[in-house]
Structure 1
Amino acid sequence: MIVLLSSLTISSHLLHIHHEDMANSRFGYVRDFEEYEKLVPYSFTVVRIDGQSFHRFSDIHQFEKPNDKRALECMNSAARFVLEEIQDVILAFGESDEFSFLLRPQTTLYDRRKAKILTKVVSAFTSAFVYNWGRYFSTPLAYPPGFDGRTVTYPHPKHVRDYFAWRQVDTHINNLYNTTFWAIVQQGGKTEREAHKILQGTVSAEKHDILFKEYGINYNTLDDLYKKGSILVRIPPPMPEIPADGSYKDKKKIEKIRKDGIDGTRGPIEILHLDIIKDTFWNDRPWLLSQLD
């Protein structure tokens, strides 16, 4: 009797599996509608994320004007998490409520599926921003912030350099305007509408003059965090020496590391605030623009 019951139990279990297989087979066709757009081969990819409605978000959370160092450092910590999570992100640049992440051309992340990569970066950044909020702000979040993102493919290293130069120029233009605007409002006692009217049509030199002559602010001495944005890269580890008395296995491992060279995927992450437009930054880190395996 016990044997019979056991047999019935096993038969019932197998029948259940059979029905599940039939169900999967019957409804599995819906997977055919899924699209798997992949990154263009042998090309650089930039994932850029932007804060959603961050004017409102910054007002509700009473960000300091023209720059809130706490918010920028929280953004930087979120970007650092992205580099920690995704080894093939070899460079990041951030300003205001946006961050750009460069993936090396050789990446095989998620089989190069564009949607998977984009959502991974955006979700990792957003969750890290929320998680680290309390490290920089004494007041809790009033509501969850949101970020959207896009991917852009660049076939040539020059395009990559020009992209990051474009973002840093944008950083300078926006910061100079905002610094002058809020000086007029906060120190000059003007309304925001009046400040906009005063700055309408002004060029860079005129904004510098307003800051220095009227408010005693030398723009050139302000923190580079605000003027140049934040750059995240990895410090490459030193190349190990091959020991004369080491084991064969150790020697082969070190030889492989030396052969692979520096590719920007290993080493501690550093945050820099310097010129990314001139040659120096790129010449010091040639692996960032390498398209070779």
Structure 2
Amino acid sequence: MANSKFEYVKHFEQPDVLLPNTWIVVRLDGRGFTKFANKYEFAKPNDRRALDLMNAAAKAVMTELPDITIAYGISDEYSFVFHKTCTLFERRASKIVTTIVSTFTAYYIFYWSTYFPERPLSPPLPSFDGRAVCYPSVQNLRDYMSWRQADCHINNLYNTTFWALIQKGGMEAPAAEKLLSGTLAADKNEILWSRFGINYNNEPEIYKKGSVVLRDYELVEPSSQKTAANEVDNIAEPVQQSKTQAEKEKKLRNKAQVTIQHLDIIKDEFWDRRPWLLSNKPGKPSKAT
């Protein structure tokens, strides 16, 4: 296309390239989801259909974007992780974030009728915002993921106890909040068991641990992969792959089944048995697929 006198406006566009050789985490959150959840009468403290809908949208995003290494979701938020060597959209923050958020939102609306067939959507429609954060080391990345899962447990234990006091104990919300103020995890567990016969350990894992979305490769023995994280962190510069090798690995990722699991991602075992999450090298196809 020929240049025109109006093309100078392109110079107003500011560069927004994310730091090289860092892990990129795109975290999205529902906008005004408290009101949204009330409008569609989501079950308290957890609505399984709403969580399954979030997971379905996240799985679709990860299926469409093989550059995503792992995703983790709780409530109305999801975090998508890109490997430090990722070059998607030349690492432009705006392009990466808007692609993740728009694709997720599109699938959330697309799948809505599957999980809430009796409640058609009406304006204002669900929407999400997002931001990208760079983490320089594997430890930083793991600490971020651990933070989100710890938050999941803390919030779910509180909400489970809070709503038990209201729904089963007949308390008003202010009174329940006052009773729980300053309590520890052991106190909440005691309230659940002594008052309502609820063993928190028996609550569904999806509520306690959140949801992990990843490509399903064959698990490995941890002992042979102990240096994987260190090797990744010791790379001074991203390894430049040939176009052929990059395409080959992309095809392998596309073939791998994207699964949703509810696991402990804080412990070393999760990462040690799935070295592809840190190395960005596709693993062996799972025997189950």
TM-score by length of structure 1 reads: 0.82
Q: For residues 90-123 of structure 1, what are the alpha-carbon distances to aligned partners after superposition, in whole Å with 9 as ceiling and x for unaligned? A: 1000000000000112222112111000000000
- CA offset at residue 290 of structure 1? 2.5
**Is 2:34 aligned against 1:45?**
no
Alignment equivalent of 2:151, drawn from 170, 184, 208: 170
**Aligned 8 A contact 2:69 2:280 in 1:** no
**Is 2:270 aligned against 1:281?**
yes
Which residue in 1 is equivalent to 2:130?
149
**Aligned 8 A contact 1:164 1:277 in 2:** yes
Q: What amino acid is aligned across from residue 260 of structure 2 in structure 1?
A: I
RMSD (Å) for aligned C-alpha atoms: 2.4
- Cα distance in structure 1, aligned partners of 2:54 and 2:8: 42
Greater share of helix: 1
Which residue in 1 is equivalent to 2:184?
203
Alignment equivalent of 1:112, drawn from 84, 91, 102: 91
TM-score by length of structure 2 reads: 0.83
For structure 1, the residue ranges without an aligned partner over 5 or more in a row are 1-19, 239-254
Give the direction of change, closer, same or farther, for the CA distance of 1:227–1:31 in structure 2 (3 Å limit).
Answer: same
Q: For residues 136-159 of structure 1, what are the alpha-carbon distances to aligned partners after superposition, in whole Å with 9 as ceiling and x for unaligned? A: 012112331110001010110111
Give the direction of change, closer, same or farther, for the CA distance of 1:64–1:260 in structure 2 (3 Å limit).
Answer: closer
Partner SS, residue 17 of structure 2: coil
For structure 2, the residue ranges without an aligned partner over 5 or more in a row are 220-243, 283-289
- CA offset at residue 266 of structure 1? 5.0
Which residue in 1 is equivalent to 2:42?
63
**Higher Cα radius of gyration:** 1
**Aligned 8 A contact 2:49 2:115 in 1:** yes
Give the direction of change, closer, same or farther, for the CA distance of 1:54–1:121 in structure 2 (3 Å limit).
Answer: same
- CA offset at residue 262 of structure 1? 11
Q: How many residues are matched?
A: 255
Alignment equivalent of 2:257, drawn from 255, 268, 278: 268
Moved over 3 A (4+): 259-266
Which residue in 1 is equivalent to 2:202?
221
